[in-house]
Structure 1
């Protein structure tokens, strides 16, 4: 088979190298074209060298086409992976640090909450430009597979305003599926699930083992588990009160709802510092910073390490390669995809981006009808969908009033801040991120004027309830295996150490 795949944001080593391995594990794909694009030529060069070495050592003749010209990378592409972080770690720092001044303590800040909303403003503006290039130079009818966050907002904007068929892909469902099996003392393949909702708030509405419905037994299993009972307190509490387990990690979930991070003195009751994903303040920013610094420093050693093996047993669990395999070869793949609802989940809005079971084969991507979510689960999702809709429309139209309303409607922002504080925080975030927000020119000028001339609401120098310092390269050298895993996977904490209480 011969077709072209473009990676936009290829400097994201964690996704690019793994996705390429997964794709080239498929025997029929040994002759495809691969293009890498990134705006950072240094990162692009390092990732290209590493991936080309993998290709060569697996005996394939593919030559990666690296380019800083996005249109050149997209030209003739049938499939496009997007893994961009607009504004990089500099903007990400603002997403975490400015809200902290107002008492908003985020673990990640990439989905909703103050950081996720602003991340969406930057990302949507750029994604619509990517879509424009795709429409003009890519293969007609191509498929954009978005791995970038905020997943739902970006996928929503691309489908509604970008004019490009877009599907959002995330590995959260697989991670929770593994946890559920572990809690029951079973293998993942022995547990059947139906999971539905919205990205990062998807619910395991049915869990079966050998035909027996285990859904009602899950709370007891998690409460009895020696590790999860300590590290997943937010998820367990949501399971206790809503009846269903949620896909996303303890730290992620804690910032999507108003109950667990609004009082600094209570945050430690709900999180664990054994690994960042369990709720550490600014945890993902820290590990991303460490990963970038480590990869920059240790890259020569990466080139000396063993190459990735393109074998079935080494293939990862990201959906992207399996979708392409299904579409091109006809082999049926079942995964969980982020798509426009269109009635798949009956009690969520038609235009929302939902995450639900889907199938990929030669007929395309098919989404079976799920029906109604349990009423409480739907209510949690609908709150986030309202925030997403406001944020998408704000980003597309450069409407700072809608942006401020999105912040007000956000569960955690609204639980912590009053309207005047939210207005001033948005002004600060707009001004700090001006270079990545071209659609907000007039609003940013007005925000600068207000910040310079009007009395300021007092804020505080607050580092969060559970913030850890960024490790130096010298500290990371003491455990190179851990540092490599961090840089190579953008440390999604797939391998989690024991709970902090066990480590002490």
Structure 2
């Protein structure tokens, strides 16, 4: 029986969505789903959520919950990591302290002072997880969703024997957004995307086999509502000719010209209509709000009968696990060592490129 372990299962949104996706694959429907978290209350809510999905779909899967990481990893075929090391009480200082010295941060989970300190805090924990995997499930794959993605994966890929890749939804999310902008469906779109996590570029984006960039440029330049949806990313595209993954807020950090003065922040990072235009401490503030409401929200969800579609979502993890366990091979964008794949980035750096998953 296939055993899939979730480290950081108290990330309730991620856990519910990933379990739903996993259970849509026939060869995974009788899996044992092992949930592990250091927060007992969140872990119990996660267990109840997963059991609700199993019951709703009438799947033969089983769910286990434990606060013992080593116990959770024993015999695992695949491990999914969604931890936030230190929690928001610690993470907030990554954002607030640099602000005192003039560094206005939107997300702070990738690079800059905020990303570096987050990496320093998280790398030892990730390596510890890998050491436990080397002992208790050495043949398992590790799918990481924790940021800063490139730094964490680089450390794990250099220092452990575990097969690990990092996953992000910014590639498929951006591709879908661009398809919508040119009024087409994803089944007509093909693309090649490569770079660094949160800063990967669509070096090809085609509709029905033809270059779709002229259509995208026309949509951005002619329709104000499209330009306003992603101001920073659209400016980058209009100047560079290629579209980049992740939000305008993220990219305003990676291209600091957009954040170097208050007037530029106001012009480019406050008026966008997308999910993250670039306001200061955006995600931190969202997390702080959620900490006050998450318990009531999950209890309300249960009282309503735990409504949730059983249709598969767009995250890569379930497809990869299905392929790894003998299902259909799957191509996804993952974070792997650069072995000459991208020639103008350092050899050995962690890059986000198309990857083939199979048994």
TM interval, shorter chain, is over 0.9
The DSSP-based 3-state class of the residue aligned with 1:85 is: coil
The DSSP-based 3-state class of the residue aligned with 1:105 is: coil
Kindly state the Cα deviation for residue 329 of structure 1 after the two structures are TM-superposed. 3.0
Distance 1:282 1:100 in 2: 10
Task: Spell out, residue by residue over 1:378-422, the C-alpha distance to the aligned partner (whole angstroms, 9 max, x if none).
Answer: xxxxxxxxxxxxxxxxxxxxxxxxxxxxxxxxxxxxxxxxxxxxx
Distance 1:199 1:227 in 2: 27
Count of matched residue positions in the alignment of Structure 1 and Structure 2: 358
The equivalent of 2:289 in structure 1 is 290
Task: Spell out, residue by residue over 1:13-46, the C-alpha distance to the aligned partner (whole angstroms, 9 max, x if none).
Answer: 1211100110011122121111111111111111
Distance 1:14 1:290 in 2: 15
The equivalent of 1:356 in structure 2 is 353
Task: Spell out, residue by residue over 1:49-71, the C-alpha distance to the aligned partner (whole angstroms, 9 max, x if none).
Answer: 12212212221243311111100
Alignment of 1:150-165 (within 5 A): 150-165=148-163
Distance 1:212 1:357 in 2: 20
Distance 1:163 1:327 in 2: 17
Judge conservation of contact 2:31–2:62 (CA < 8 Å) in 1.
no
Task: Spell out, residue by residue over 1:427-458, the C-alpha distance to the aligned partner (whole angstroms, 9 max, x if none).
Answer: xxxxxxxxxxxxxxxxxxxxxxxxxxxxxxxx
The equivalent of 1:318 in structure 2 is 315
The equivalent of 1:245 in structure 2 is 243
Larger Cα-atom Rg: 1
Q: 1:330 to 1:27 in 2, by over 3 A?
A: closer
Q: Which runs of 5+ in 2 are unaligned?
A: none
Distance 2:188 2:151 in 1: 34
Distance 1:26 1:340 in 2: 29
The equivalent of 1:182 in structure 2 is 180
The equivalent of 1:31 in structure 2 is 30
Which has a greater percent of strand?
A: 2
Judge conservation of contact 2:141–2:162 (CA < 8 Å) in 1.
yes
Task: Spell out, residue by residue over 1:231-274, the C-alpha distance to the aligned partner (whole angstroms, 9 max, x if none).
Answer: 31211111122221101100000001221001112201102264
The equivalent of 2:166 in structure 1 is 168
Judge conservation of contact 1:145–1:169 (CA < 8 Å) in 2.
yes
Which has a greater percent of helix?
A: 1
Distance 1:292 1:269 in 2: 31
Task: Spell out, residue by residue over 1:133-158, the C-alpha distance to the aligned partner (whole angstroms, 9 max, x if none).
Answer: 111112x3211100100011111111
Stretch moving more, 215-224 or 116-125? 215-224
Judge conservation of contact 1:78–1:141 (CA < 8 Å) in 2.
yes
Kindly state the Cα deviation for residue 306 of structure 1 after the two structures are TM-superposed. 3.9
Distance 1:273 1:182 in 2: 17
The equivalent of 1:221 in structure 2 is 219
Q: Which runs of 5+ in 1 are unaligned?
A: 363-504
The equivalent of 2:191 in structure 1 is 193
TM-score by length of 2: 0.95
The equivalent of 2:102 in structure 1 is 103
The equivalent of 1:204 in structure 2 is 202
Kindly state the Cα deviation for residue 308 of structure 1 after the two structures are TM-superposed. 5.5
Judge conservation of contact 1:57–1:307 (CA < 8 Å) in 2.
no
Distance 1:211 1:58 in 2: 38
Distance 1:348 1:22 in 2: 34
Q: 1:76 to 1:212 in 2, by over 3 A?
A: same
4+ aligned runs moved over 6 Å, structure 1: none
Judge conservation of contact 1:276–1:283 (CA < 8 Å) in 2.
no
The DSSP-based 3-state class of the residue aligned with 2:44 is: helix
Distance 1:286 1:76 in 2: 38
The equivalent of 2:91 in structure 1 is 92
The DSSP-based 3-state class of the residue aligned with 2:276 is: helix
